[in-house]
Structure 1
């Protein structure tokens, strides 16, 4: 990505490895290997003058698909851990994560039985899963094709770094698929979450230039349905069935395992590190609560369980820990040359304008007496057509004239108050008349 955006030359990249340490001021940081769905996942042991903090990173404990360094974690626990920050994503799931080996066995069964093409949708970052698909495809005599920009890029980098191995002569291009028997084709593609412009979504819409679904194809979604994407994914599955494909996904077969620890693995992390304080991280608020409850079940006192949301600051010192003043966090809106200068209020106004439109009320008044000189003129943008609703516009003008006429002589130059009254009156009128709420902007021009 840095190279793509021409930032690589000005970026200071430092290569790290498990068990290496880094000195940052008074902190000493050791990198601890953890198993996850990406290669070289790392947790952190942060040694400070007050004590050691352990940050689990995204992790699971699976000795078949990447080894989590339990010995190092236990060593820190024996020496004393001040606080543990641990992944909470799968705290609602009991037991242990399914071993990665089981996914390989499921893929083998599918590859062996399918007589047509097999297409496997997987996260492009999940190199271990991609290797499993490649191994299974090669084992059953299939050629492998990679599809999707991020998939092709990630697999190229993974092969260069030695994380992904495709036997010589077993990879084909999408263009070569037509000359290869269907029973000898396996496609690894992006789009498991039905992202609008992803490869599998375009295939399901019959909008892909090189891949067309046909009867006999089998499509495997080797990922979970991420909350919020369910509707798009099920719609994509329906489209694939309409074109004649068989679709296999997590709810009907064991073709995906999470990269995040289940309850028993989370308990093991707590028991190994034996922290004084526990801060659950990475999850919705309900996940944090349930993770704290899990920690209490194995012996941590409630007063040492810290539930914090984004932006909350926890201060540790010699006296213990406490919540401090929060900081502003979240997305930063880049608008033209401005970075972060557009706040929530402006964004709310923009949404309001885009949904309901704008009405400008232009009125010219005598600067000395406040008498009406011209107008009111009403300009509608994105609200209604002035030609189609002349009665509505005229009645709005009449409401403005009534407000001006009813103002006491001594109060006709109170421009802010008059503008406020016009705004409220027209907003009420438009809601009552056509149940719409445009932004009303009265402009009083004194002359």
Structure 2
């Protein structure tokens, strides 16, 4: 059973176990050790977001990789989906992203991609973890010419940007006015350049990373904060990215927030109409709003549901042959273009749809009726199985019995943080708030931090 890897790699407080340079060094060696099987000299690509601890972890990982006889290809600050793309494009044996996504600056994380651009399988992550636990990674100590090299790729950002432009055949955005909130993260430099080169007028916010301001009251976690700027600048649309650029939330021309459910629904409907929605299927998670399911039923779109996490979405997309999937949080995957959720690619696909249909951004908000939904996050000190807490189970069952068929209850632990999430949907705001608070209270009493 994995102890280091969560649903999205390894994550934690930077310079505190497990997110230390000591662990990163061993992790780099372990990755090189596992990849050495059948390879005389593996290539491992590394990119990062701009948080202050990323340089520290990059140095340790890189040292571990080359000390075990693999070459380390460094691409600098780049969004997570850029690492996924370049890992495959540059024929690397693995890609590593140093980022804690939407978390605060003092957290950081390490996640892996395989040579095909998909996240590493649970089995391979378990092998890497086992190599660390058994100190097997310390076996490799090459000398002389067999020590690995550091290779810096100066045009990595340009290569990724060209890929994004080609995904929409260098679409002309002349006459469009776009506001970008880069969350002081990995999209801070590349996003304004990308949309400007396609001809759009760009208004850019939060694109001055200093290592400590990533995600700070900005980006995809706070899209409601750019409504005034949208109206002030008379922008046609706003895109809010998270720290590592793999998710996006949209704000329309009126300043209204459009989350991942609406984005996926708008894309699914258009792709169905144009014959691009393979198998007439879309993949979403248990957190997707009930209104999405109803809208799909009405339009004849098949829905496949997974647990929370974009890796589970992509796994199910592969299983059922879907080309579109994603999460309410804004991870959207277009298999016709990429193996990973990609905020900028999603933005381009949306702009293409709006241009083809000659509709404003606000039209996306009419694609489904959103049911009232409340999400509470309870800080916890441990994560025992929920079924082992009778008082919590009773509160959950009571809520289910009250809502019957007119709502949903989802209670789960975060895969990346010490939190338990309580999500309830229903027809009455007051009722679902009271029920969610009741469940959250029982969780807090038992395991609250």
Q: Same fold, TM exceeding 0.5?
A: no
Q: What TM-score do the two structures reach when normalised by structure 1? A: 0.28
TM-score (norm: length of structure 2): 0.28
More helix by share: 2
Of structures 1 and 2, the larger Rg is shown by 1
